[in-house]
Structure 1
Amino acid sequence: VVGESTAAGVGVAEHRQGLGAHLARALAHRHQNTVAWQIIGVNGIRALGLHRHLAGRPPADADLAVISLGVNDTTGVTRPSRYRQHLTDLIGTLRRNRPDLPVYLLAVPPMQHFTALPRPLRDLLGQRAAQLDRTQQTLAAQLHGVHHLAYPAIADPACLAEDGYHPSEKGYAYIADQVAGQLRPTTVSGAGADITRSP
């Protein structure tokens, strides 16, 4: 799992409470196997920055990659055409050693539901987030082995952290369970975790 604050687990105290750990557990349960997982998450990063970050230190070999991006590109007003190019470059970096690596793009969160944001700002950001997510959907439809993951609908306020912006542990667990049902790993093997969480 690579990406911004959601990948980094902002909103919870420990990585075992975050998206990557919950996703690994959900996959292990579904496939009755041990899952090795790696998180590279940088709070506040955009697609271009993550591509540059990974270019110097590509992640370990994997059976699949999940990308969680878009919020910072939304607030940073990245144009959809640039966002598409940055994502394409990022996918290329992830596939440097394995051109057929399955890549899953987690939908850009619906920012109109971020209670920490006042209206009408959150409605405007919600529209921009949806625009970038449509860019992701188009890219997934055009690139072989790239898939778009719908963002799980979250109605329970307990799924948001105290900051009203990031998921809580309950939110991460729910998102992970929904995402796990959409992933199609060819193999699930190995054990342990290699974690990078940048502030």
Structure 2
Amino acid sequence: MHLPFWLTTALLFPVLLYQGKQARRTTPRLPEAGGSPSGQYGEGTPARRILVIGESTAASVGVETHNQGLASQLARQVYERTGHTIAWHTFGINGIRLGALIRELETAELPAADVVLLSMGVNDTTGFTPRFRFRRQLRALRQLLASRYPGPVLLLSVPPMHLFTALPSPLRHVMGWRARQLDKLYIRLAQQFPKDFKHLKYPVVTDPALLASDGYHPGKQGYQYIAEALADKAIPEQLFSSESQAN
């Protein structure tokens, strides 16, 4: 137990409860994106297949179609930089927590993939999922995916919620504190089990021009910005070799 965090949360609980209700009431709830959840850049057999799973970011909330979302934009960045054909697929549910996502994945029909990126943590932050449970669920997720996706699951760090200006203070600072706790758990897992997990730093998105109308989720330019920052880190280095870029 992280005693300072829980003491602070307990002391501020009436304020946090009020601000949380106000934020839910006043913040527009954007829908999940439409269109096909999969696609491909380039012709022929893909050199790499990218799968993004998770919460609202994986559901491409903030844009109209999945083609504008994170999985597609990440695939496009890799394709443009390397010239290799890249396929993508995204599976996300807005508002979901990790435990519920695992239950959905148990029956979901997902395509083959070489790279699996998990975008989670915001709803487990706001829902105060205990860290021991979150860790246990991450291990369960890795075990569930192991037979189909042998490589490490890429853990996209929990967004820095203390910078979410759509949330009032002190709510956003407490949420940011909790988000950092879960992200540190990601980092420790990646250090302890490098064959199972790899941590990717979430690029800070503070420019209002990069955000959707709710001031909370990335917009079209925001997803492009995140994809640009992640492309070199998410894909195996051999695709970015000088020989690949020369083709």
TM-score (norm 2): 0.72
CA offsets 1:92-137 (integer angstroms, 9 cap, x no match): 2122234x32321000000111122111100100000000000111
Q: Is the 8 A contact 1:63 1:185 kept in 2?
A: no
Q: Is the 8 A contact 1:58 1:94 kept in 2?
A: no
Instruction: Tell me whether 83-92 or 119-128 shows the greater mean CA deviation.
Output: 83-92
For 2:147 and 2:96, locate their aligned partners in 1 and report how far apart those are by CA, in whole Å: 21
Which structure would you say has the larger Rg?
2
Return 5+ residue gaps in structure 2 as ranges: 1-51, 240-247
For 2:202 and 2:135, locate their aligned partners in 1 and report how far apart those are by CA, in whole Å: 18
TM-score (norm 1): 0.89
1:22 aligns with 2:106: no
What is the count of residue pairs matched by the alignment? Answer: 187
Candidates 80, 91, 106, aligned match of 2:131: 80
Q: Is the 8 A contact 2:62 2:219 kept in 1?
A: yes
Q: Is the 8 A contact 2:163 2:206 kept in 1?
A: no
Candidates 162, 173, 178, aligned match of 1:128: 178
Q: Is the 8 A contact 1:63 1:186 kept in 2?
A: no
Per the TM alignment, residue 185 of structure 1 is displaced from its structure 2 partner at its CA by 3.1
The runs of at least 4 consecutive aligned structure 1 residues that moved more than 2 Å come to 184-188
CA offsets 1:25-71 (integer angstroms, 9 cap, x no match): 01112221111111000001111111111111252221110000000
Instruction: Tell me whether 150-159 or 166-175 shows the greater mean CA deviation.
Output: 150-159
1:179 aligns with 2:230: yes
Candidates 122, 135, 150, aligned match of 1:71: 122
Structure number with greater CO (CA < 8 Å, separation at least 6) is 1
1:11 aligns with 2:62: yes
**What's the Cα RMSD here?**
1.6
Return 5+ residue gaps in structure 1 as ranges: 189-199
Percent identity between the two aligned chains = 49
Match of 1:139 in 2: 189
CA shift in 2, pair 1:187/1:38, >3 Å:
farther
Match of 1:160 in 2: 211
For 2:81 and 2:143, locate their aligned partners in 1 and report how far apart those are by CA, in whole Å: 29
Candidates 53, 76, 92, aligned match of 1:41: 92
Instruction: Tell me whether 154-163 or 167-176 shows the greater mean CA deviation.
Output: 154-163
For 1:65 and 1:135, locate their aligned partners in 2 and report how far apart those are by CA, in whole Å: 19
For 2:110 and 2:142, locate their aligned partners in 1 and report how far apart those are by CA, in whole Å: 12
Candidates 137, 141, 155, aligned match of 1:105: 155
